[in-house]
Amino acid sequence: MGIKKYQWAITMAALLFGLVLGLQFQVNESLQQDTTTERIERLAQQIEHKKMELKTLQAQVEELRKKLDQETERPELRRIKNKINEVGILAGTVPAAGPGIEVTLNDSDAVLEPGENPNLYVLHDEDVLKVLNELRAAGAEALAINDQRMIATSEIICIGPTILTNGNKRLAAPFVITAIGNPDTLYSALFMKGGVAEQLKQWGIQVSAKKVEKVVIPGYNGAITYNYSGGERA
């Protein structure tokens, strides 16, 4: 009987311990759910607050943009803005558009005779330079080769069958030179009797050009460096 009472007591204690553990688990789970819900609500409030801040900032930016537009429309600032744009076009740092011509240069397609030098029938850097200089002399306001804007520091160097320009830009034939200026003047300068086009064609170099109502030339996007000049301190 003593043993049975002892076993019964152990059984009851185990049941009570199980009930206590179960209750504690339910309480902890409930507290955790409450904490998670509270945290979600707090985060939702923070997100909503940030949205309101962003909306306010966007409105401020829009208001400042309107004020800037109003200021730049003032006659004196508009003149400065136009002058900056003109200088940028001349320097080549901003895109340019206008009437002009499109010149295409390509190597000769002639069949060489035995013993003839093939280098005489391919384009070289001096050939491209002659065309560019002729267009500049005829009043070209902006120039590009294969969409590479030509500026005061742009070089034209032969590298095998290609030319190198603007530091590290390799261009291969055919070379498409676009020029903004008076289309008739530019065209006539290239194709005058004894001119550049006629000289190149003597070696079979393919030269063609067409007048274009609107030429679009991109701005120069490389670095501009000067080796021997700079500003002076007062």
**3-state secondary structure (DSSP) of residue 115:** coil
Say which residue the tokens 């008076």 belong to.
182
The 8 Å CB, 24+ separation contacts for 118-125 are 120/203, 121/203, 121/204, 121/205, 122/161, 122/173, 123/173, 123/175, 123/205, 124/158, 125/156, 125/157, 125/158, 125/163
Say which residue the tokens 């035995």 belong to.
114
For residue 73, pLDDT over 50 is answered with: yes
Q: Residue 220: which of 149, 156, 143 has the closest Cα?
A: 149
Confidence of residue 112 (pLDDT cuts 50, 70, 90): low
Global pTM reads: 0.63
For residue 35, pLDDT over 70 is answered with: no
Helix residue spans in 73-162 (DSSP H) = 75-91, 125-137
CA distance 137 to 127: 16
> Dihedral (C-alpha) 220, 224, 230, 234: value to the nearest 10 degrees?
60
Looking at this protein, which amino acid is placed at residue 1?
Answer: M
| Whole-number pLDDT of residue 1 | 43
Confidence of residue 3 (pLDDT cuts 50, 70, 90): very low
| Whole-number pLDDT of residue 55 | 77
